Chain A
Amino acid sequence: MKSIRRILAVVRKEGLQLRRDRLTFGMVFGLPIIQLLLFGYAINQDVRGLRTGVADLAGTQRSRVLIADAEASQVVTVVRRAGSAEELETLLRRGEIAVGLFLPHDFERRIAQGGRPAAHLLVDGSDPIVLAAAQRLAELPIPRDGVPRESAVGAPRFELRAYYNPERRSAVQVVPGLIGVILTMTMTLFTAVAIVRERERGNLEMLITTPVRTPELMVGKILPYMAIGMVQVTLVLVLGSLLFDVPVRGTLADVYGAGLIFVTATLGLGLLISTVAQTQFQAFQLTFFTFLPQILLSGFMFPFDGMPQPARWLAEVFPLTHFVRIIRGIMLRGAGLPEVSRDVWPLLIFFAASMTLATLRFRKRLD
């Protein structure tokens, strides 16, 4: 009874402080909105309009149709005309174009003979996303004699659309994972700073002479942020649905349930940081130190399957990795929490481990 009273006292106090801390309060709402807009609109992995140079030495009808088809795919926009392969290379090197399309003099003869590739695609390979997009371009079929033009042009368009086109697709993929990224960022940071700030401001010396117990303090500090986490989940869901038409194919209860489990794991990490860091600045540093690998290795940004084995092992430790899988499963594939339990229990273990460590590390002494 007294224990609950003390937890509630800490909760109420944290709530009051949070409400008066304009910067933090702004972050609660500002960060999800900014990130959602950034990832939804700006960081669009649907590549289109690559600056392209064309050297059409063949100059036949067929070569012109091929160029027109490439442009029609919207992947490339022809910005330069060149007279030779060397000229294309120069343009590429200078960065004036990202893709060069070279059609040699013997374009027609090569097509007739089969064997050697009829056209060359010169690609700026320094950007993997550009490279991947251009590779798809190479799959464009070359218009053949005797085949009606409509079907020759229609077929590649159809194929490109299937893999690529709708701009919705990228947002749909990104938004569920984004919930995890936003929660990781804000939750870890808020709790990481929570105890350090009390130490820096001298509040801790008063607090540890009171009867408040360490677990009470920890739980009291975590609870308000769990509520904030749920507010952020709601914000992303609503904005994602309004702006990007992101579906929730599973149940909302599962989404919030998964969110809650994930938030506790993240808060545990934050509290642990809080007991290690001596100053708020150190808490910031440590938070970002844990944040960066999580965002890079979780499968949110890059496909998990493309990573080397050690990176995957490491990624399995991170809460974000599991949450990205859970939330994509629930929101996009319509899975229920029990079906993704394989990724739920690592989160629970992470929470238990980090909270235990944090409680053990936090001493009600100044030694």
Chain B
Amino acid sequence: MSEPLAIHARGLTRRFGALTAVDRVELSIPPARIYGFLGPNGSGKTTTIRMLCGLLTPSEGEAEVLGHRVPDDAERLRLEIGYMTQLFSLYGDLTIRENLEFVGEIYGLATARRRRRIEELLEIYRLGDRAGQRADTLSGGQRQRLALAAAVIHEPRLLFLDEPTSAVDPQSRRDFWESLFQLVEGGTTILVSTHYMDEAERCHGLGILDQGRLVAEGAPRELMQGIDATVIEVETEALRAARAVLDRIAEVLSVAQLGTRLHALVDPTWDDAEGRVRAAFAAADVSASVEITRASLEDVFVAATLPSRREAAA
């Protein structure tokens, strides 16, 4: 391995009382990549990010971030990372420029460089015409651009983004991701958490977190190709009846409705799944077209988080 890893975590675990929020997570994230954490609320995304920033002490395991041990070496790491929190954490009663000035000074940027950098950021993140406006009067998208600008003002090598687009409209989300790719082109490594599939698909590498465990990991395309299930798509007029048939088959792991179609995940060891499902429909006198299809990222997510949901149901 020639390139040193941006983030390397072994057996990272964090417990809050009886709850294990993060459970033996292993991470090897190369530099200049966007790595995504995909997972539902409470899956341990934020806790993992906080441990990697040095804000939380791991209960067990260890992590190196940009070659620094966390949390012991966190103070030195702070100059090299940027962290955009899930909730807006800049000052609502300061203007855009004042917020950037403050963060720039805190990071010790010399006056000339700070001025230049702030102008640059106002330009890149299209905040120039609102520089004098107070942050709490901004829209969700503007506020998020300001938060990103503040997080990268000191040109960090590594950027943590905790659900950065949760309060933002789709167009702003697209723009936001464009700016993330620009940062990566400049050599920045980005770790982003999300629960949007379309965002997860844009990442170079993806880790699916469920109840604190890393249940699947890889590039989105790999994950979709290597899914541990057969995906069957059913098109029918009698959706409810078809669904009832599928629910009765033990080998069908999960069914989801997508418009007028049903999407079923089927046990991959079940031979000729397509044929057997067709037979089941015929037996139940339900007319439907059945075919095997490519897995989407959502299928990957559902398949990866199935075991824990089975446990919860049992």
Interface residues of A (CB under 8 A from B): 2, 5-6, 8-10, 12-13, 16-17, 20-21, 201-213, 364-367
Interface of B: prevailing SS: loop
Chain B neighbourhood of A212, CB < 8 A: 106
Chain A neighbourhood of B108, CB < 8 A: 2, 5-6, 211
Chain A CB within 8 A of B75 CB: yes
Interface of A: prevailing SS: helix
Contact of B56 among A5, A203, A213, A367 (CB under 8 A): A367
| Residue of A12, A13, A209, A213 ringed by the most chain B CB atoms within 10 A | A209
Nearest-neighbour CB distance to chain B for A134, whole angstroms, equals 56
CB-CB under 8 A for A9 and B57, given A202-B87, A206-B83: no
Chain A neighbourhood of B88, CB < 8 A: 202
CB-CB under 8 A for A13 and B91, given A6-B106, A206-B85: yes
Shortest Cβ distance from B50 into A: residue: A366
Stretch binding the partner chain, chosen from B92-100, B210-218, B228-236, B255-263? B92-100
Mask of B61-90 contacts with A, CB within 8 angstroms, 1/0? 000000000010011001101010101111
| Cα distance, A365 to B57, chains bound together (Å) | 8
26 sampled A-B residue pairs with Cβ under 8 A: A5-B108, A6-B105, A8-B105, A9-B105, A9-B106, A12-B102, A13-B91, A13-B94, A13-B102, A17-B91, A17-B93, A17-B94, A21-B93, A201-B92, A202-B87, A202-B89, A206-B83, A206-B85, A207-B106, A209-B78, A211-B75, A211-B79, A212-B106, A364-B55, A364-B75, A365-B54
Nearest-neighbour CB distance to chain B for A24, whole angstroms, equals 11
Mask of B46-57 contacts with A, CB within 8 angstroms, 1/0? 000010011111
Since A206-B85, A206-B89 are in contact, a sample of 12 more A-B pairs with Cβ atoms closer than 8 Å, ordered by chain A residue number, is A12-B101, A13-B98, A16-B94, A16-B98, A20-B93, A202-B87, A207-B89, A210-B103, A211-B107, A212-B106, A364-B74, A366-B55
Interface residues of B (CB under 8 A from A): 50, 53-57, 71, 74-75, 78-79, 81, 83, 85, 87-94, 98, 101-103, 105-108, 150
Nearest-neighbour CB distance to chain B for A221, whole angstroms, equals 13
Contact of B55 among A6, A9, A17, A209 (CB under 8 A): A209
| Residue of B92, B93, B150 ringed by the most chain A CB atoms within 10 A | B93
Nearest-neighbour CB distance to chain A for B142, whole angstroms, equals 17
Nearest-neighbour CB distance to chain A for B222, whole angstroms, equals 32
Q: B89 near A211 (CB under 8 angstroms)?
A: no
| Residue of A16, A210, A212, A366 ringed by the most chain B CB atoms within 10 A | A210
Q: B102 near A209 (CB under 8 angstroms)?
A: no
Nearest-neighbour CB distance to chain B for A209, whole angstroms, equals 4
| Cα distance, A352 to B150, chains bound together (Å) | 35
Contact of A210 among B78, B98, B101 (CB under 8 A): B78
| Cα distance, A9 to B101, chains bound together (Å) | 8
Contact of A211 among B53, B71, B78 (CB under 8 A): B78
Chain B neighbourhood of A2, CB < 8 A: 108
Q: A202 near B93 (CB under 8 angstroms)?
A: no
A-B complex: 5 closest residue pairs judged by Cβ atoms:
A9-B105, A206-B89, A2-B108, A209-B83, A202-B89
Chain A neighbourhood of B150, CB < 8 A: 206
Chain A neighbourhood of B101, CB < 8 A: 9, 12
Nearest-neighbour CB distance to chain B for A17, whole angstroms, equals 5
Q: A365 near B102 (CB under 8 angstroms)?
A: no
Q: A205 near B85 (CB under 8 angstroms)?
A: yes
| Cα distance, A186 to B232, chains bound together (Å) | 69
Chain B neighbourhood of A213, CB < 8 A: 75
Q: B53 near A209 (CB under 8 angstroms)?
A: yes
| Cα distance, A201 to B91, chains bound together (Å) | 8
CB-CB under 8 A for A205 and B55, given A5-B108, A6-B108, A8-B105: yes
Shortest Cβ distance from A18 into B: residue: B93
